[in-house]
């Protein structure tokens, strides 16, 4: 079944090529297509395009379909082109001609864009939860090990004293900026495109504000041409937010791989979180962090992938946009799995104590010695030269202590302030309002 079928059989090769993986990808969208249809037909009844008893019958069947989609039981039958066609086919099979009325005032163009936006909202909430779990684990370890010093590096050369508290806490605060990106993606997504039809509106007296309210959107994409132009742009903007999170998680994974190597030896994971070698019995490989790193690199490429598909497309719908789904829809679950594994690993990390007592790291304290001289009244440049000369002559023997007190440094991590930033950001999402609107709609 095809919503555009006019009785002309399409060549099988063309059919296979144009449908591609769309039926497989559309399973991600099934519950959201049903919710969108429920909102749309509720609106159609309000403007006189459906009878009240027809709406009641349609809503009853749609609730059944929605339930099966949530349980993972929804399938797109052979010969059915996409999720939109499957839902309409099921309604028509069960209710007869009434089922054929649900597409009035819609195009597959605004229908799929709506489905994508509802899907994105749902998955962004899941990502936010996973990001916050990772954030909490990082902050907890930052507090646990705030007094445990490690060397900081520039150019991969020993630079200055750092701490595990700083290291864990740095990635926690990085996630607050990623949350800002997720919030922007949420706000861009949370605008209703339904009613744009094929991108040029409809002669039906549609009530777009009603569907906006029913689906819990903050606002609508008012201009119908722009609503259609949002296809591809929406996914790219959201992909940028996902890639921002992936950047933080992937970078943390790289640090963890480095710090777990024997040359550093700063961290260990329990044996059950590592893998071995087929010929080297001593190996405990950080495969979990290596795969997190690789998966996050792949996610960071997603905005570019979408950009290359959409580059130079003029306004209006083009089939090119279909291909975005293949990389975009699975990316949420892939990122969430990386976050969940990173959180699990961080909670089980064991640190090495007294790392800076090693002779290898004594020059990390050179700046501390310079600063001590400055505090005694020696001009900074003279103090720098004195300490530098001592190092060159082999006479540098520092005290292995630090006294940092300003905001965000070793002795004053400001984890509580960072926590406030994260809490405020998460509270600014309107997850509760959206979920209440969809709950009300699904029970109509």
Instruction: Indicate which residues carry an active-site annotation.
Output: 155, 277
Residue 423's CB is within 10 A of a number of other CB atoms, namely 12
The set of residues, in sequence order, having a beta carbon less than 8 Å from that of 62 and lying 6+ positions away, is 34, 37, 38, 41, 87, 91
Q: Give the side-chain half-sphere CA count within 13 A for 351.
A: 20
Kindly write down the DSSP assignment for every residue of 335-396, as one continuous string. HHHHHHHHHHHHHT-EEPS-GGGSGGGGGGGHHHHHHHHHHTT--HHHHHHHHHHHHHHT--
Task: With CA atoms as reference, report the closest residue to 181 among 250, 139, 124.
Answer: 124
Is 397 within 8 Å of 387 (Cβ atoms)?
A: no
Cβ atoms of 338 and 292 closer than 8 Å:
yes
Instruction: Give dist(CA 154, CA 160) in Å, integer.
Output: 9
Hey, is 267 helix, strand or coil? Answer: strand
Strand extents, DSSP E, 17-156:
149-154
The crossing angle, in degrees rounded to 10, of helices 30-46 and 52-70 is: 170
Report d(CA 403, CA 127) in Å as an integer: 38
Among residues 235, 221, 188, the alpha carbon closest in space to that of 29 is found at: 235
């Amino acid at each position: 079944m095809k919503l555009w079928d006019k009785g002309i059989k399409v060549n099988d090769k063309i059919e296979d090529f144009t449908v591609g993986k769309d039926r497989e990808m559309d399973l991600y969208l099934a519950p959201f297509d049903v919710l969108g249809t429920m909102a749309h037909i509720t609106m159609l009844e309000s403007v006189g395009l459906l009878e009240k008893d027809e709406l009641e019958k349609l809503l009853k069947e749609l609730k059944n379909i929605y339930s099966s989609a949530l349980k993972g039981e929804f399938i797109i039958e052979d010969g059915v082109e996409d999720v939109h066609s499957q839902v309409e086919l099921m309604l028509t099979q069960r209710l007869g001609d009434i089922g054929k009325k649900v597409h009035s005032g819609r195009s597959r163009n605004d229908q799929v864009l709506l489905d994508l936006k509802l899907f994105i909202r749902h998955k962004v909430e899941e990502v936010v939860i996973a990001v916050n779990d990772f954030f909490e684990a990082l902050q907890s370890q930052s507090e646990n090990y705030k007094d445990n010093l490690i060397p900081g590096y520039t150019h991969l050369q020993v630079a200055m004293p750092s701490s595990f508290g700083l290291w864990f806490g740095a990635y926690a605060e990085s996630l607050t900026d990623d949350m800002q990106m997720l919030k922007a993606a949420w706000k861009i997504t949370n605008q209703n495109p339904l009613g744009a039809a094929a991108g040029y509106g409809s002669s039906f007296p549609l009530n777009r504000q009603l569907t906006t309210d029913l689906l819990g959107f903050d606002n609508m994409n008012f201009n119908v041409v722009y609503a259609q132009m949002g296809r591809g742009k929406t996914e790219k903007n959201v992909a940028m937010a996902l890639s921002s999170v992936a950047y933080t998680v992937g970078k943390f994974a790289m640090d963890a791989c480095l710090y777990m190597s024997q040359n550093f030896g700063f961290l260990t994971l329990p044996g059950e979180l590592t893998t071995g070698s087929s010929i080297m019995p001593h190996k405990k490989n950080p495969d979990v962090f290596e795969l997190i790193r690789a998966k996050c690199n792949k996610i960071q490429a997603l905005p570019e992938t979408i950009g290359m598909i959409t580059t130079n497309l003029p306004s209006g719908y083009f089939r090119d946009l279909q291909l975005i789904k293949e990389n975009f829809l699975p990316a949420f679950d892939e990122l969430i799995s990386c976050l969940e594994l990173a959180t699990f690993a961080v909670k089980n990390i064991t640190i090495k104590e007294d790392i800076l007592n090693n002779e290898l790291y004594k020059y990390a304290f050179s700046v501390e010695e310079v600063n001590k001289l400055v505090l005694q009244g020696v001009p900074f440049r003279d103090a720098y030269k004195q300490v530098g000369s001592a190092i060159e002559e082999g006479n540098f023997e520092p005290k292995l202590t630090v006294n940092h007190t300003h905001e965000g440094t070793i002795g004053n991590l400001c984890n509580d302030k960072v926590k406030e930033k994260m809490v405020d950001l998460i509270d600014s999402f309107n997850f509760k309002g959206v979920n209440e609107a969809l709950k009300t709609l699904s029970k109509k």
